[in-house]
Structure 1
Amino acid sequence: MSEPIAKIPQPIKTEVELALMHFPELKNTPIEFKFKKDIKKSVMLAQPSWNDIFKPKKNRGYKILISENFKISGKKFRTVDVPSEVLIGWIGHELGHIMDYRQRNGLNLIGFGLGYLFSDSFVRKAERTADSFAVSRGMSDYILKTKNFILGNSEIQDSYKARIKKYYLSPDEILEMVKEQDSLKGIE
């Protein structure tokens, strides 16, 4: 089996490789994982490489930008210092976005970006779709650990928790998806 075509910073290499194992469809997809000083409203952000938007879907590359730090109650923390399983869940969610982007043509991706900027309901659908891709790829434990890390941490700002509750799948919805997947496996 060939290696994924990915540029991965050394501090998160293990977590990225573990997350990528759940997405064999991305094996030949160029993905650059890159640390940024700060990403507004997020810890990570997946996007197509802008030069590739109008290339055929199979030739498109992507970036996952990772904030070097995030704040909890005004105090900065390094992203690489969060528990490994939480980081894997965050990365898995971003890979879910790439799975979504891979189905879209260039104009649709531009529409996606505009929808994400201007429509709350669009953001909710996009984030829930990314979560769903990760859960369907067997990453439910990681996604749940990420949600629980955020929602169960008394030091994380309430505004960030509210954003997670508003736009993303809840832990209960994830468990329901897993239950549904397990019941379908029993039918096969």
Structure 2
Amino acid sequence: MIFEIILIIYFGLIFFVYRNFYISKGLYINNIFYKNKIITPQFKKTIEIALSYYPSLKKTKIQFLVMKWKWFHSSALPNPLTIFLPKKWRSYIIIISDETKKELEHGLLKNLPEKLQIGILGHELAHIVDYENKSFFQVIQILWRYLIPSKRKKFENSIDILAIKHGIGYYLHGFYTYLIKKNPHHTKNFMENYLSDEDIKKLTKELTGKEIN
């Protein structure tokens, strides 16, 4: 029963978002470097840089959507139209918020320097790598566990570590540090759900051999 409830909420949310908040048509990319990608021209450069750290996603179908999405700065989700299909036929959506509460506007992608944009995009792409390795029921379990604070922290920490393994640690550290310094709300949120800046520095050195100064 719980799975059915989660599915109803998930599909309802995606339909609601598409119907009310979608504001940007994408640019289709299908070349030697990136296949099956629909990206927003506004962030073309930083999306391509972030994608370059994830060669395993070269052929994965990903659509980047700019939306009026006040709850998150960005979010990566399986496309509900393909979530039931085998892994190789799935596609994914990365939502980029265009507006939020005034006190959080500094965290919007459009207001960030390119380095920090790569950090947040790299984190979302790590989510997609994680989805790619999971079955349909495992993906649904993620959606369920995300509602539980203790499990959400463990999950987001694992995604940060995955991003670091792909070489995103430097950008991730810059993005997290920037948000925490800008707003106390982000300090509380990131302490509850994500790796600390010191953890990112430590893990980047351990996992990639690179130091963040």
For residues 57-115 of structure 1, give each alpha carbon's deviation from its aligned partner in whole angstroms, at most 9, with x where no partner exists.
12110000111023453767753121111111000000111111111111111121111
Question: Which among 164, 172, 180 is matched to residue 190 of structure 2?
Answer: 164
Q: Report the AA paired with residue 159 of structure 1.
A: H
Q: Return the offset for 1:122.
A: 1.6
Question: Which among 108, 130, 146 is matched to residue 175 of structure 2?
Answer: 146
Give the structure-2-normalised TM-score: 0.78
Question: Which among 77, 101, 112 is matched to residue 82 of structure 1?
Answer: 112
Task: Calculate the aligned-residue CA RMSD, in Å.
Answer: 1.9
Partner Cα distance (1:168, 1:48) in 2: 21
Give the structure-1-normalised TM-score: 0.88
Q: Return the offset for 1:2.
A: 3.9
Query: Which structure has more RCO (C-alpha within 8 Å, separation ≥ 6)?
Result: 1
Q: Return the offset for 1:3.
A: 2.0
Q: Does 1:99 align with 2:125?
A: no
Q: Return the offset for 1:161.
A: 2.2
Partner Cα distance (2:104, 2:52) in 1: 35
Partner Cα distance (2:135, 2:98) in 1: 31
Partner Cα distance (1:2, 1:22) in 2: 12
Percent of matched pairs sharing the same residue: 29
Tell me, yes or no, if the aligned pair for 2:73 and 2:108 is still in contact at 8 Å.
Answer: no
Equivalence for 2:16: none
Equivalence for 1:37: 68
Query: Structure 2 unaligned runs (5+)?
Result: 1-31
Query: Structure 1 unaligned runs (5+)?
Result: 184-188
Equivalence for 2:6: none
Tell me, yes or no, if the aligned pair for 1:93 and 1:143 is still in contact at 8 Å.
Answer: yes
Q: Return the offset for 1:179.
A: 1.9
Aligned residues: 179
Tell me, yes or no, if the aligned pair for 2:105 and 2:111 is still in contact at 8 Å.
Answer: no
Q: Does 1:19 align with 2:50?
A: yes
